Structure 1
């Protein structure tokens, strides 16, 4: 079997350089690499925050940016302070989809849509639960 060496999401956006600035401010991301066409359109920009990497690019006819396309994935971002990250995202223009709150499945988290149309589930683990405990709590949450 082939060995997987790396996997990261690529987010088509409207305004890749603005997205890079947003992710720097909201997540403390560093720009690892950035490549652009002669007219300045970003075709690939790799960002890193801690051990996590993702890429952005300017949307085009092949990779449309939200709301015309893309945005179908929800990115789950685990952090040490979900409230602080959500506040930083909001300060940069993100919108709350689900507010950050304590969840019965052992996390504190919420969901925000960044200014480029991508959804981020921002969460921190608050309890170490077994899969069985999570299943039980999840069923109870939806039974209400």
Structure 2
């Protein structure tokens, strides 16, 4: 495998396109329309990541995280400034899921939920951390220390 793309189910395709343009700098690469003129699928490019957006299809299992009250994945971006990325996303309408913080694994990181409930994270590398140090911190967390 050499390419990777996301296919996200969103509640409102045009609103999601607007959100991703403002929050993540997305550009539309293709729109596929239904006979009534509404958008069936919007294909975007977000800094080289291909993302397809589609509305839930009645009679199928496609659903948004918001409609199922769960988000099982976080889509992580390496960014030069996590605070600026969070500000941009929240200014565009994202909700803060985890505020920006300095994490023990060597990144400044924060997470937002987009309007359909998908979780996006912004990671700014601050230092290289040896694997042993990360594992020791994980062990302390699991022990409740």
TM-score normalized by structure 2?
0.85
Any idea what SS the aligned residue of 2:65 has?
coil
Helix, strand or coil: the match of 2:76?
Answer: strand
Moved more, 44-53 or 18-27: 44-53
Cα deviations by residue, 1:61-84 (Å, 9 ceiling, x for unpaired): 222223224743221222111111
User: Is the contact between residue 104 and residue 138 of structure 1 (CA under 8 Å) also seen in structure 2?
Assistant: no
Partners of 1:141 and 1:126 lie apart in 2 by: 21
Matched, 1:68 2:67: yes
Secondary structure of the equivalent of 1:68?
helix
**Structure 1 position 17 matched with structure 2 position 21:** no
| Count of aligned positions | 141
Asked whether the 8 Å contact 1:77–1:121 carries over to 2, the reply is: yes
SS of residue in 2 equivalent to 1:67 = helix
Q: Classify the secondary structure of the residue corresponding to 2:36.
A: coil
Quote the Cα distance in structure 2 between the aligned partners of 1:64 and 1:40: 22
Q: Deviations for 1:16-46, whole angstroms, at most 9, x for unmatched residues?
A: 1111111111111111112121224433222
Segments of structure 2 that go 5 or more residues without pairing to the other structure are none
Counterparts of 1:1-144 in structure 2 under 5 Å?
A: 4-61=1-58, 62=60, 63-69=62-68, 71-142=71-142, 143-144=144-145
Distance 2:81 2:140 in 1: 26
